[in-house]
Amino acid sequence: MIDVRLLRSEPDAVRSALARRHQPEVLEQLDRAISFDTLSRDIVAKRDAIRAEVNDLSKEVGQRRKSGDTAGAEELQIRSRAIGEHERVLAGEFDVVQSDLRELLLRIPNVPHPDAPDGAGDVDNPVVKGPVNMPAEFAEHKRVPHWETGTALGILDNERATKISGAMFTMQRGNGAALARALCQYALDRNVDEFEEIRPPSLVTTATLTATGQLPKFADDAYSIERDDLWCIPTAEVPLTSIYSGEVIEAEQLPLKMMAYTPCYRREAGSAGRDTRGMLRAHEFDKVEILAVASPEQAPGLLVEMTGRAEALIAGLGLPYRIIEICTGDMGQSHHRSFDIEVYAPGCDNWLEVSSISWFSDYQSRRADIRYRIAGQKGTQMTHTLNGSALAVPRVWAAILENYREPDGSVTVPGVLHPYMRGVERISGR
RNA sequence: GGAACGGUGGCAGAGCGGACAAAUGCACCCGCCUUGAAAGCGGGAGGCUCACAAGGCCCGGGGGUUCGAAUCCCUCCCGUUCCGCCA
């Protein structure tokens, strides 16, 4: 949620920043929000003046009662009651305007960072690094999609996954399952130097899913358990961000760095049939997420650090990759600035998005009410949040099967994963 | 799921219809005292809204009663204990 005070003090700056997202309806919402805010301040001023009057009268009623002036007290009561009617009307109006305003603000996206590249959509995302590790050409035996290799080796069984749960569910078996788990273990071990490992709940309340920005706008993308008013998390970002919701953190505690390995659930409404072969897009997948709660000053450095960490994991696996920056027209609603890491998969002949690292400025913190206090200073400020996929399993799993496919159809396991694979260095057919 | 009891400031904990932003203790900050510190003494200090002041709001959330609610009523949430169920 963007700051209403910013809307008041610098409406033009907010407008031109949001205009870079190339979504005309956002600017309309902005105008309505500004007029709601003006109206609400107008009403609250009147309401408060009346409340002050009622408070004064009530005090006097008490005093007169005490001194025995019953008649005088009763006369004041009558007056106060009449004024109270008016107060009730104004208070009602205020509540309506406030909730309309909040509803609007929850749907207005974050302002992009000034340095975020301009663009209308994903084709405008500039490559900021790479390709790294990219061979001049790929041998024919690597030009095999992972779903063929995985099925042939008996480590991918999507046919039965579909029988069990329906379309767009996947299932890994044997060394394929081990490979998926090894990737998570690898990602956790490489970040435990700085990030606290968390095992959060994967079902969360509506308030929690609203704090990170998925609700109210993107309800169709999440699985909901209506009977208990809970939602399945689409990413560990959701529970991790809300760990400190409603709390005030001492400045010297910042940044708070956390990571979690969780399943992620996405309905993928509207994307059925698109890039859904093999492991490319599924309703349920595993991911290791890294997250930081920081001061505004710490945030830019953390964005660089966290992007570097995600990159190091991919580089460590020896996969060809590149880093792109997300342009203003392609940014997620909560994002202030964002980078993606893409891995090249020769079998699909495609760059696969395997990691996304984002800075949310105070957008999520304001929704979640996460503040910090500087010792010796009055008041509190909103924190900044950042997060990124350290490693999203399915597409990395897919890229390994394609990049490490041998002429005989087996798959070599990258060296860094050997310790987590019970010594298996090569996955061959049974 | 059932029953009982709870939810008040950083923490503990009083207040249970009228001057309560809220006693007291601990912790914290500033003085005095001291070579320095502790103890002792004196003083200060919550959050939100807000340019500031004034005003308003905040005693788990929401609603109600009342001239007036931390205090009474309803409802929801959370916690503790006991029972039931269960990995």
- Residue A376 (CA) to nucleotide B35 (C1'), in angstroms, measures 29
- Residue A122 (CA) to nucleotide B37 (C1'), in angstroms, measures 65
Nucleotide nearest to A84 (CA to C1'): B67
Inside any domain, residue A300: yes
From the C1' of B57, which residue's alpha carbon is nearest?
Answer: A48
- Residue A104 (CA) to nucleotide B64 (C1'), in angstroms, measures 29
Please indicate, yes or no, whether residues A397 and A288 belong to a single structural domain of this protein. Answer: yes
Nucleotide nearest to A3 (CA to C1'): B49
Inside any domain, residue A112: no
Nucleic strand B interface residues, CB < 7 Å: A 4-5, 8, 44, 47-49, 51-52, 54-55, 57-59, 61-63, 65-66, 77, 80-81, 84, 95, 371, 378-380
Please indicate, yes or no, whether residues A133 and A176 belong to a single structural domain of this protein. Answer: yes
- Residue A58 (CA) to nucleotide B67 (C1'), in angstroms, measures 5
Position A370 scores a pLDDT of 87
Position A276 scores a pLDDT of 76
- Residue A73 (CA) to nucleotide B65 (C1'), in angstroms, measures 20
3-state secondary structure chain A: CCCHHHHHHCHHHHHHHHHCCCCHHHHHHHHHHHHHHHHHHHHHHHHHHHHHHHHHHHHHHHHHHHHCCHHHHHHHHHHHHHHHHHHHHHHHHHHHHHHHHHHHHHHCCCCCCCCCCCCCCHHHCCEEEEEECCCCCCCHHHCCCHHHHHHHHCCECHHHHHHHHCCCCCCECCHHHHHHHHHHHHHHHHHCCCCEEECCCCEEEHHHHHHCCCCCCCHHHCCEEHHHCEEECCCCHHHHHHCCCCCEEEHHHCCEEEEEEEEEECCCCCCCCCCCCCCCCCCEEEEEEEEEEECCCCHHHHHHHHHHHHHHHHHHCCCCEEEEECCCCCCCCCCCEEEEEEEEECCCCEEEEEEEEEECCCHHHHHHCCEEECCCCCCCEECEEEEEEEEEHHHHHHHHHHHCECCCCCEECCHHHHHHCCCCCEECCC
> CATH no. for residue A66?
1.10.287.40
Inside any domain, residue A341: yes
Inside any domain, residue A116: no
Residue-wise pLDDT tens digits, A86-102: 888 898 888 889 888 88
Please indicate, yes or no, whether residues A102 and A164 belong to a single structural domain of this protein. Answer: no
Nucleotide nearest to A76 (CA to C1'): B67
pTM here is 0.92
Q: Which residues of chain A have pLDDT under 70?
A: 270-274, 376, 430
ipTM at complex level: 0.83
Nucleotides of B under 7 A from a protein CB: 18-19, 47-51, 54-57, 63, 67-68
> CATH no. for residue A165?
3.30.930.10
From the C1' of B46, which residue's alpha carbon is nearest?
Answer: A379
Inside any domain, residue A113: no
Q: Among A65, A82, A107, give the residue marking a domain's end.
A: A107
Look at chain A and report how many structural domains it folds into.
2
Position A430 scores a pLDDT of 64
Position A377 scores a pLDDT of 72
Please indicate, yes or no, whether residues A83 and A130 belong to a single structural domain of this protein. Answer: no
Please indicate, yes or no, whether residues A142 and A95 belong to a single structural domain of this protein. Answer: no
Please indicate, yes or no, whether residues A253 and A355 belong to a single structural domain of this protein. Answer: yes
Please indicate, yes or no, whether residues A102 and A156 belong to a single structural domain of this protein. Answer: no
Please indicate, yes or no, whether residues A59 and A157 belong to a single structural domain of this protein. Answer: no
Inside any domain, residue A115: no
Please indicate, yes or no, whether residues A201 and A132 belong to a single structural domain of this protein. Answer: yes
Q: Which domain holds residue A40?
A: 4-107
Q: Among A107, A142, A173, give the residue marking a domain's end.
A: A107
Please indicate, yes or no, whether residues A224 and A81 belong to a single structural domain of this protein. Answer: no
- Residue A247 (CA) to nucleotide B36 (C1'), in angstroms, measures 38
- Residue A192 (CA) to nucleotide B40 (C1'), in angstroms, measures 49
Position A290 scores a pLDDT of 97
- Residue A202 (CA) to nucleotide B84 (C1'), in angstroms, measures 27
Position A62 scores a pLDDT of 86
Position A160 scores a pLDDT of 94
Inside any domain, residue A114: no
Q: Among A83, A107, A131, give the residue marking a domain's end.
A: A107
Inside any domain, residue A17: yes
Please indicate, yes or no, whether residues A384 and A409 belong to a single structural domain of this protein. Answer: yes
Position A273 scores a pLDDT of 62
Please indicate, yes or no, whether residues A321 and A250 belong to a single structural domain of this protein. Answer: yes
